[in-house]
Structure 1
């Protein structure tokens, strides 16, 4: 993309500003620019029971540049330029902060090592009272279609969006989603093709498809209830519901939460899976639930969570998450480690997301402002995942440690250590494999302008 075109797109797009202006000139002169610069280092070591161990690493420098206009007669726009640039690559490369998805899409491992830039957001928005219409590309946050901003860049979608705020407690939404950009890609690919890859035509009867999303949120100080439906014709229908109760007294806050997820293949896909039971281990029929309790006391937080993806032999019972959603309360840093959101990998799964998996997670987070060393924090998490299905021979155990530091609102640093015993993955046909040990280290420095 040449500089002139990029400049035009950046000026042409932006999110709604809080201030209404009265001229086209002011719409742009009173717009806002923000940016971040991120450094990311990652090293991943894998120890196999019957194969040589592997080690891969990468350094990348990149970030985002956003321009957003002020609002004129309800209209506004936004554009975000995103980039990730590798340097100091040596030996085997961990492509999960570079172009891993590009490598799979083009069937070219060399493309996975490449740096890339992309216009990740570019949309026009019209707001009237409590109703907003948006058209274009945007970074979306929802349980099953998410930005997954834990690597260099977020994922994004393209489509049309309607949001309506009924009152201070109730918000409703409808989205028509046509394309998806995975976090390690510079392409906006048809959203259903991204999920199924080369098998899209065989499974759905078409070489592309769409997702229609409905959502509703009810929120008060003490109670929050969220409901989402994601319908992809001739592929699958997904329903997500959660509820959270919060109680505060003095310096203590407690939260109890529950969630439920249902997924079923529909239309042509349902017929295809039934006629080809070995392709995906049967029709998609997923039921999962989880519960979570959290207690916060000043700068300390304790979390206990349990999840269960119900086993349904003869069906594809693992959660189908091709669009970077990692919704379970027991999710860990290494959960869904690019298995499902890579091009064509929708029917793969790992750890707590595999059908039959039960997970118990414990976490402890601590801030240290009370010591006078402001901005420092630590988080310790542990997850034990059990499953009786063939191949899941040993419990998977995840240990995550995060050391964090924040200086005002601009600079943050995170050091992450990840250790996984018996890291487990399931292929689309339900077959399970385990890695003896996965170890990963990350250094993430971010400066926000």
Structure 2
């Protein structure tokens, strides 16, 4: 009964509250989960007035997900309903305080405690709407998200505490009920013309689909861990030690139509990753332009990669990896067409904790990743339409992902065969009476094109499957 009244409360709030939120954000964008408004012009004369002039934001979401697997193995569905609020004070001597929390209800889903009887594997997608650490948890799904103190200086700011970030390696991810969050100190420096500099030290992570914050080492291994390069089960979960993550990012747009991006992420005692990216637009006429992009990433292990015992380490000692990719496309005011390529060399596995964020590759498609693999060739094309009022957006994407053989464990961490993936995505932002609501329908199908040796473990929740996602958001 208590759960019933809580659901009624959320639904009632939806009817009487008023900006919208997209299900997926590009990792180059600032987080807009709460759609909060800025109170930059207010600098109160007292702490009390700073709180009185503060701003509340709210976000409610309904999420239906359904996965249909190959005949003979299990299918799943889920219905999730959630709501939360955020409060940020007005400025007081350039300082601001912010706090947010969220609650999720499982209002009718498959039994996630039951594993597939053929493969003995658990659910992959639907459980991630709730608490992946406790599949039986249906109604105790509350989460403290943000809790920070921010200091503003001209166009820049520094934030200390629990907060939202979008970087190439640590980001909100592609969306379930709630995003990945971080705990640490973050500097957003914007005092140099056409240059943005970010510097941060992170000591805590709250991964998407979990309910609490973890130390950096503890956060790795909450999601499935796959196998070691020798084929034994990865043993790094709970066995990694790190003092934190040091990040620096520089974005420059001083050359006309050219955006250059450089990120370096140093995960102490684990590994270091460097990303360099250039995106250039060439104006064909006032209404259309060509798009060009290049990206490369280099990684290397630090010390023993997290643990002296190599059966319990994350990044093998002396290990490294290299990726590079490109993009070519065309766009006008309503249409965008791109052809994207990414190569992970056979030098080693590209490794980035899935708990921290999604792939930064041009070829990334929601509901699958290429993290954990080496010797990969990925090709993806995408066409996107946005109406002139920016209220309707749709895209169709098709990708071919050539991966190492599933038995090549040195370069295939998760036993995923080569596949073709198609995504159809439709989004609409309501106006007028329903302003504040937005809706999204995402359909994904993955076709197997690799050898699976008649083993369903290489297929279940991986290929020859489809997933349908319907999401309704409301922000005020």
Q: Which TM-score band applies after superposition, normalised by the shorter structure?
A: 0.7 to 0.9
Q: 1:377 and 2:397 equivalent? A: no
Query: Which residue, out of 300, 311, 319, partners 1:284?
Result: 319
TM-superposed CA distance for 1:253, in Å, is 2.8
Q: Deviation digits for residues 16-74 of structure 1, max 9, x if unmatched? A: 731232322331222111112111000112227xxx31111111111331111111211
Query: How many residues of Structure 1 are paired with residues of Structure 2 in the alignment?
Result: 397
**1:58·1:88 contact (CA, 8 Å) conserved in 2?**
yes
Partner of 2:338: 303
**More contact order relative to length (CA 8 Å, sep ≥ 6):** 2
- Aligned CA-pair RMSD: 3.0
Gap change, CA 1:98 and 1:424, over 3 Å in 2: farther
Gap change, CA 1:286 and 1:424, over 3 Å in 2: farther
127-136 or 223-232: bigger deviation: 127-136
Q: Deviation digits for residues 239-274 of structure 1, max 9, x if unmatched? A: 11211112333211332111111111101327837x
- What is the alpha-carbon distance in structure 2 between the residues aligned to residue 126 and residue 277 of structure 1? 40
Gap change, CA 1:394 and 1:192, over 3 Å in 2: closer
1:151-166 paired onto structure 2 within 5 Å: 151-166=176-191
- What is the alpha-carbon distance in structure 2 between the residues aligned to residue 128 and residue 362 of structure 1? 42
400-409 or 31-40: bigger deviation: 400-409
SS of the equivalent of 2:173 reads coil
TM-score by length of 2: 0.76
Q: 1:386 and 2:402 equivalent? A: yes
Query: Which residue, out of 375, 396, 408, partners 1:356?
Result: 375
Gap change, CA 1:385 and 1:172, over 3 Å in 2: same
Gap change, CA 1:390 and 1:95, over 3 Å in 2: closer
Gap change, CA 1:302 and 1:375, over 3 Å in 2: same
Identify unmatched segments of 5+ residues in structure 1: 1-13, 104-108, 337-350, 427-431
Partner of 2:57: 34
Q: 1:404 and 2:427 equivalent? A: yes
Q: Deviation digits for residues 296-334 of structure 1, max 9, x if unmatched? A: 12311111100001112xx4x233233113211100111
**2:174·2:366 contact (CA, 8 Å) conserved in 1?**
no
Partner of 1:22: 44
Partner of 2:293: 257
**2:375·2:403 contact (CA, 8 Å) conserved in 1?**
yes
- What is the alpha-carbon distance in structure 1 between the residues aligned to residue 388 and residue 51 of structure 2? 40
Identify unmatched segments of 5+ residues in structure 2: 1-35, 113-122, 223-234, 408-414
Q: 1:328 and 2:361 equivalent? A: yes
Gap change, CA 1:438 and 1:424, over 3 Å in 2: farther
**1:236·1:263 contact (CA, 8 Å) conserved in 2?**
yes
**2:307·2:313 contact (CA, 8 Å) conserved in 1?**
no
TM-score by length of 1: 0.80
Gap change, CA 1:326 and 1:278, over 3 Å in 2: closer
SS of the equivalent of 1:199 reads coil
150-159 or 220-229: bigger deviation: 220-229
- What is the alpha-carbon distance in structure 1 between the residues aligned to residue 208 and residue 345 of structure 2? 29
- What is the alpha-carbon distance in structure 2 between the residues aligned to residue 61 and residue 184 of structure 1? 14
Gap change, CA 1:60 and 1:388, over 3 Å in 2: closer
Query: Which residue, out of 205, 209, 218, partners 2:252?
Result: 218
- What is the alpha-carbon distance in structure 2 between the residues aligned to residue 382 and residue 280 of structure 1? 31
**1:45·1:53 contact (CA, 8 Å) conserved in 2?**
no
**2:148·2:160 contact (CA, 8 Å) conserved in 1?**
yes
- What is the alpha-carbon distance in structure 1 between the residues aligned to residue 387 and residue 270 of structure 2? 48
Partner of 2:199: 174
Partner of 2:439: 413
SS of the equivalent of 1:193 reads helix
Query: Which residue, out of 38, 63, 74, partners 1:54?
Result: 74
Q: Which aligned runs of 4 or more in structure 1 are off by greater than 6 angstroms?
A: 277-282, 423-426
- What is the alpha-carbon distance in structure 2 between the residues aligned to residue 88 and residue 201 of structure 1? 32
Q: Deviation digits for residues 348-393 of structure 1, max 9, x if unmatched? A: xxx47621111100111123459xxx83332100000113445479
Q: Deviation digits for residues 96-152 of structure 1, max 9, x if unmatched? A: 21111x23xxxxx324x5551212111001123354221100011001000115211
- What is the alpha-carbon distance in structure 1 between the residues aligned to residue 273 and residue 445 of structure 2? 32
Higher helix fraction (1 or 2)? 1
215-224 or 148-157: bigger deviation: 215-224
**1:309·1:353 contact (CA, 8 Å) conserved in 2?**
no
SS of the equivalent of 1:20 reads coil
